[in-house]
Amino acid sequence: MQGGEAQIDFGTTDIIYEEAWLQVKYLVMSFPYSNAAFLVVFPREDLTCFLEGLKLLFKQAGGVPRKLWFDNLSAAVVKIKEHGKRKLTEMFQRFQLHYRFEAVFCNPRSGHEKGNVENKVGTSRRNWFIPIPV
pLDDT in tens, 89-113: 999 999 999 999 999 998 776 666 7
Query: How many domains does the chain fold into?
Result: 1
Q: Which domain holds residue 66?
A: 9-123
What local confidence, expressed as pLDDT, does residue 119 receive? 86
Task: Point out the residues of the chain with pLDDT beneath 70.
Answer: 1-3, 109-112
CATH assignment at residue 77: 3.30.420.10
According to DSSP, the β-strands at 67-70 and 86-88 are unpaired
Residue 1 is assigned to a structural domain of this protein: no
Residue 131 is assigned to a structural domain of this protein: no
Residue 130 is assigned to a structural domain of this protein: no
Those residues with Cβ within 8 angstroms of residue 65's Cβ, 6 or more apart along the chain or in another chain = 4, 5, 6, 29, 31, 101
